[in-house]
């Protein structure tokens, strides 16, 4: 049976084509048929009224900044102006994004009469990465690792310096190869033009997410608590003569805000345009040849092994473990989880403080107002926390499996070791920018690459020093 979700995602047009064909040879009593009927019912009846999917704001960040609801609406409107909607994306002129590609990738999935596929993102990606690119599609909760949340613009598997964005080639490569060992599939069967449209759409969602956070911060810093002024710059007073607070976010009516918003967009876009100048270029002569004799590789791998286990050099074992099973430092988090954890911790603190103040008698009126405000805040924060998936530690890779998410070519492993893995605890050992001195030399990094690639074939020798349960955890 075809997976029901595929139909449903594609239902608007393509469902009509296949439903008769499948109905013909369907056993109406089997449970799968029930599912199909359900999908049909849903397609024909239930969802005609369903509203089109929408981009939603990042509630965690809105609540963290205590951004008032009316400002949230204004942020959503500015984002709508600059990026459009999931059905009608807009390539903002300064974004450098191509409208035709976005249009092909966005919207509902269907094939037109010429056989051109539309709605590529919803067809291939949305059930994991979510409409907003928040990594929270319907499948996401059940995956480990969770799908990438594009909204902070951080990507792991790329050939650029750690602080830089990925190049288009980097994004194409991950789509072509998938991320082996994770749910991220390979899309190597898609034509190049479709891959390019999807890459454009990933960048679009990332820029939208980054712009959202900047707008949120702009409201926090400059608008929400500012004294309101009239056209002449005089303070606006309420009926009691007290100055009114809060300047509305409406770039359509405020030239200064127009400039500010465009400036933020330029800051978001610039690193994407600069990515191609931020590629780590290994020195040509140092790149090991493909046809090296076995002894040469073994000698290089031996050097790499010494570096891997040396605290004065590579120090890789401190995380990947004395046996490289990934059983070293296991209790750190990735940046996406860290943000949620900080949110959780702060909520716990606030809850405790509210409970303590509840116990106190004779609070002043000011204290009571503050207490009520904090109580409301706790409940808003708890609503956000309910939407979290279980937090997981960032576990160092078991390097004996020979599975590399970012690609298994030597140059891929070189890039991982040189710059580390952005967003993850894994640090780099090469220089942090073009021409900047690193911890290890390029030659040493190539030695480690040889060792890493030989690790799956190396016997585990010597006593097992790691805790047995850790080993079980990472090798299962």
Partner 1 sequence: MGQAKQEMKLFVLSRQTIAVVAVAALAAAVGCNRYSEGPGKVVNLTAATKIRSSLVGQTAEAGGEQAASTGTGWATLKGRFVFDGDAPAMPPYGVNKDEAVCAPGGKAPPQEYLVVDPSSKGIANIFIYPRKVSRVNDAAGPKTDPFLFDQKECRFLTHAFAVSVGQPVEIHNSDPVGHNTSIAGQNTFNQMIPSGDKVPYSAKKEEATPASISCSVHPWMRAYMVPRKDSYVAVTKPDGSFEIANLPAGEVLEFQVWHESASGSNHGLAVQSDETKELKWDNKGRFKIKLDPDQTRELNIAVPASAFGG
Of 31 and 115, the one with the shorter C-beta distance to partner 1 is 31
- Residue 133 interacts with ligand HEC (CB under 6 A): yes or no: no
Sketch the per residue contact string, 392 through 421, with partner 1: x for CB under 8 A, - otherwise: ----------------------------x-
User: How far is Cα 54 from Cα 208, in angstroms, rounded to an integer?
Assistant: 13
User: How far is Cα 443 from Cα 437, in angstroms, rounded to an integer?
Assistant: 14
User: How far is the first Cα of the chain from the last one, in angstroms, to the nearest whole number?
Assistant: 30
User: How far is Cα 426 from Cα 417, in angstroms, rounded to an integer?
Assistant: 9
> Which of 432, 406, 405 lies closest to 419 in space, CA to CA?
432
H/E element, 56? none
Contact between 128 and 139 (Cβ < 8 Å): yes
- Residue 314 interacts with ligand HEC (CB under 6 A): yes or no: yes
Size, binding site for ligand HEC by CB under 6 A: 50
- Residue 275 interacts with ligand HEC (CB under 6 A): yes or no: no
- Residue 254 interacts with ligand HEC (CB under 6 A): yes or no: no
Sketch the per residue contact string, 371 through 400, with ligand HEC: x for CB under 6 A, - otherwise: -----------------------x-xx-x-
Of 49 and 240, the one with the shorter C-beta distance to partner 1 is 49
Contact region with ligand HEC (CB under 6 A), list: 4-12, 42-50, 379-387, 403-411:
403-411
**Least spacing, CB of residue 416 vs partner 1, in Å:** 12
Out of 39, 91, 97, 316, name the contact with ligand HEC by CB under 6 A: 316
SS3 67: coil
Of 256 and 456, the one with the shorter C-beta distance to partner 1 is 256
Tokens 């020979």 belong to residue: 402
Contact between 165 and 267 (Cβ < 8 Å): no
User: How far is Cα 192 from Cα 176, in angstroms, rounded to an integer?
Assistant: 10
Of 102 and 179, the one with the shorter C-beta distance to ligand HEC is 179
Give which of partner 1, ligand HEC, none residue 145 binds (C-beta under 5 to 8 Å, depending on kind): ligand HEC
Tokens of 119: 């709605």
CB atoms near residue 50 (< 10 Å) = 8
User: How far is Cα 440 from Cα 267, in angstroms, rounded to an integer?
Assistant: 32
Q: Is the previous residue joined to 111 through a cis bond, with omega within 30 degrees of 0?
A: no
- Residue 148 interacts with ligand HEC (CB under 6 A): yes or no: yes
Residues 412 to 431 in contact with ligand HEC, rule: CB under 6 A = 413, 416-417, 421, 424-427, 429
Give which of partner 1, ligand HEC, none residue 187 binds (C-beta under 5 to 8 Å, depending on kind): ligand HEC
Contact region with ligand HEC (CB under 6 A), list: 49-57, 170-178, 377-385, 464-472:
170-178
Residues 188 to 227 in contact with ligand HEC, rule: CB under 6 A = 198, 202
Is residue 46 packed enough to be buried (19+ CB in 10 Å), middle (13-18) or exposed (0-12)? exposed
Sketch the per residue contact string, 344 through 373, with partner 1: x for CB under 8 A, - otherwise: --x--xx-xx------------x-------
Contact region with partner 1 (CB under 8 A), list: 216-224, 406-414, 455-463, 464-472:
216-224
User: How far is Cα 71 from Cα 245, in angstroms, rounded to an integer?
Assistant: 13
Phi, psi angles (nearest 5°) of residue 96: 75, 5
User: How far is Cα 444 from Cα 425, in angstroms, rounded to an integer?
Assistant: 21
Binding footprint of ligand HEC on the chain (CB under 6 A): 124-125, 128-129, 139, 143, 145, 147-148, 155-158, 171, 174-175, 179, 182-185, 187, 198, 202, 308, 314-316, 318-320, 329, 394, 396-397, 399, 404-406, 413, 416-417, 421, 424-427, 429, 448, 452
């Amino acid at each position: 049976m075809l997976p029901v979700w595929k139909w449903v995602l594609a239902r608007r047009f393509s469902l009509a084509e296949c439903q008769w064909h499948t109905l013909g040879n369907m056993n109406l009593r089997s449970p799968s048929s029930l599912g199909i009927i359900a999908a049909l019912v849903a397609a024909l009846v239930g969802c005609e009224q369903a509203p089109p999917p929408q981009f939603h704001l990042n509630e965690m960040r809105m609540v963290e900044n205590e951004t008032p609801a009316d400002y949230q609406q204004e942020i959503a409107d500015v984002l709508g102006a600059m990026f459009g909607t999931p059905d009608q994306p807009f390539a903002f002129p300064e974004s450098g994004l191509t409208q035709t590609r976005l249009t092909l990738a966005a919207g509902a999935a269907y094939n037109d009469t010429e056989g051109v596929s539309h709605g590529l993102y919803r067809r291939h990606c949305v059930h994991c990465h979510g409409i907003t690119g928040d990594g929270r599609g319907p499948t996401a909760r059940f995956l480990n690792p969770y799908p990438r949340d594009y909204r902070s613009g951080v990507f792991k598997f790329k050939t650029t310096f750690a602080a830089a964005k990925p190049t288009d080639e980097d994004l194409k490569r991950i789509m072509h190869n998938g991320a082996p060992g994770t749910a991220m599939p390979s899309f190597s069967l898609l034509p190049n033009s479709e891959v390019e449209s999807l890459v454009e759409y990933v960048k679009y969602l990332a820029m939208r997410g980054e712009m959202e956070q900047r707008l949120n911060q702009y409201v926090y810093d400059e608008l929400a608590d500012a004294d309101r002024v009239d056209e002449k710059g005089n303070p606006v007073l309420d009926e009691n003569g007290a100055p009114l607070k809060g300047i509305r976010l409406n770039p359509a009516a405020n030239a200064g805000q127009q400039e500010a918003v465009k400036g933020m967009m330029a800051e978001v876009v610039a690193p994407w345009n600069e990515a191609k100048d931020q590629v780590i270029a290994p020195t040509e002569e140092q790149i090991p040849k493909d046809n090296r004799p076995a002894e040469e590789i073994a000698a290089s791998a031996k050097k790499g092994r010494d570096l891997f286990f040396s605290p004065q050099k590579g120090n890789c074992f401190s995380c990947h473990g004395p046996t490289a099973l990934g059983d070293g430092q296991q209790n750190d988090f990735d940046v996406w989880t860290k943000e949620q954890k900080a949110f959780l911790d702060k909520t716990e603190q606030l809850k405790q403080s509210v409970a303590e103040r509840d116990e106190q008698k004779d609070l002043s009126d000011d204290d009571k107002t503050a207490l009520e405000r904090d109580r409301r805040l706790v409940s808003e924060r708890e609503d956000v926390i309910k939407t979290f998936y279980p937090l997981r530690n960032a576990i160092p890779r078991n390097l004996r499996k020979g599975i590399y998410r970012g690609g298994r070519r030597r140059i891929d492993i070189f890039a991982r070791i040189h710059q580390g893995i952005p967003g993850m605890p894994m640090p780099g050992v090469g220089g942090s920018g073009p021409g900047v001195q690193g911890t290890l030399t390029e030659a040493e990094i190539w030695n480690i690459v040889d060792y890493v690639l030989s690790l799956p074939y190396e016997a585990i020798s010597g006593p097992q020093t790691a805790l047995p349960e850790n080993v079980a955890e990472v090798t299962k």
